[in-house]
Amino acid sequence: MSLVIMKFGGSSLEDDGKMKLVARKIIAKKNTYDNVVVVVSAPGDTTDNLLKMADKITSSPPGREMDMLLATGEMVSASLLAMALGSMCEKVVAMTGPQAGILANSNYTCAKIKKVNPKKIKIQLAKRNIVIVAGFQALNPRGDITTLGRGGSDLTAVALAAALKANFCEIYSDVEGVYTTDPRVVKNAKKIDYISYDEMLEMAGSGARVLQSRSVEVAKKFNIEIHSRSTFSENQGTIITSEEKIRRKKMEALLISGITFDENQVKFTIVDLPDVPGVAAKIFSRLAKIGINVDMIIQSAAVGKKNDISFTVSKRDIKKTQMELDKTAAELKDVVIVCDEHVAKVSIIGIGMKSNAGVAAQMFEILHKKGINIEMISTSEIKISCIVDELDMEKAVKELHKGFGLSKE
């Protein structure tokens, strides 16, 4: 029996007209595959509106009640979409996340899926019903509703695809797929036809907002092919799949698949840090303890007995980081803390890098030629990131996009 998971984002469900369009797409799919399970996000701005309502009541809402509130958005989509399909004479059943057997832990507002028990879904599929599942929500061991964090409906879709052994998982949104870079910055950015899980993870972690990272991790783990595509066109979108499958499809992998950027970065530098073992480790473990995610780190070579150490954090952590570093500065004499808010991160991503040593050099050369100064560098197997002045970011993205041959002809 063939089975497809279709997931629709909020912008595909924001009014009755779009709901009906989505319903017709589901019916078309059901005509080709034996079974279809649909996962829905909350319609349009519903989640934001619920957050605003809560914010008017209190600035520190309890997580448990927040999740009970937020879960209503997806219940609304799921029930309305089931009504739309019913009105088109389809057999259909809507389920909440808990009813669908999505079981998670009790980390309210950002719970992790622990298990999927798709018994109820299977019973309905056996009756030839289309099943609509409210995304983003799960049941915790206490019998309460928990939610899976921003983009959690993607995760619901992929987790169901794994549990139900789906042929593939389609993620519908208002964009055509994954692009070589943001088309708002580079007009001739191209849609990527195939991208590997690892590349997609690096893209998602470096600023591209098409798919939730955890959903890609789960897809990789269970080898679920994801098809990211638009609700509003019939065009092929982007297939996210294994590296092996891509290599089989393409004669040769592209050197670079995509360029990402992130303006949401701040660079801290600790000047004249004593070159004593354990000092740097202490600073970073303290930051980790208060929940600050440090992204890139460089340490200058020791001159005499002093070091400079620079690292980047997300802009929203700027105050907490500053306070923590001020404590450190008070403990260690003659240490100076410098904060630079005007930086951005530009990254190139591609599995082709693995077998091609010259990529980093090529990147630096492209930036250098245009007079763009690189402040920090970090590399992984399939990604190279540079911190540049935020004023240079757009130029850097455009030049790299052109220089690595990603632009449309």
Nearer to a copy of itself, 41 or 310 (CB): 41
Nearest alpha-carbon partner for 90 in 124, 117, 48: 124
Beta bridge mates, 388: 344
Beta bridge mates, 307: 273
* Residues within the interface to a copy of itself (CB under 8 A): 16, 19-20, 50, 53-54, 56-62, 64-66, 68-69, 71-72, 75-76, 78-80, 82-84, 86-87, 93-94, 96, 99, 120, 143-145
Distance between CA atoms of 334 and 195, rounded to whole angstroms? 49
Nearer to a copy of itself, 52 or 221 (CB): 52
Strands 145-147 and 226-230: unpaired
The minimum distance between CB 135 and a copy of itself, in angstroms, equals 14
Residue 53 is which amino acid?
A: M
Q: DSSP string covering 8-66, please?
A: E-GGGSSSHHHHHHHHHHHHHHHTTSSEEEEEE---TTHHHHHHHHHHHH-SS--HHHH
Nearer to a copy of itself, 64 or 320 (CB): 64
The minimum distance between CB 62 and a copy of itself, in angstroms, equals 5
The minimum distance between CB 131 and a copy of itself, in angstroms, equals 12
Nearer to a copy of itself, 56 or 305 (CB): 56
The minimum distance between CB 79 and a copy of itself, in angstroms, equals 4
Nearer to a copy of itself, 143 or 277 (CB): 143
The minimum distance between CB 88 and a copy of itself, in angstroms, equals 9
| Sequence-ordered list of residues with C-beta below 8 angstroms from that of 290, at least 6 positions apart, any chain | 320, 324
Beta bridge mates, 37: 5, 131
Residue 189 is which amino acid?
A: A
Nearer to a copy of itself, 14 or 272 (CB): 14
Tell me how crowded residue 316 is: count the other CB atoms within 10 A of its CB: 10
User: What tokens does 217 get?
Assistant: 């991790």
CA distances from 133 to 82, 146, 149, 222, 257 (A): 10, 15, 17, 20, 33
Q: Is 213 helix (H, G, I), strand (E, B) or coil?
A: helix
Nearer to a copy of itself, 76 or 374 (CB): 76
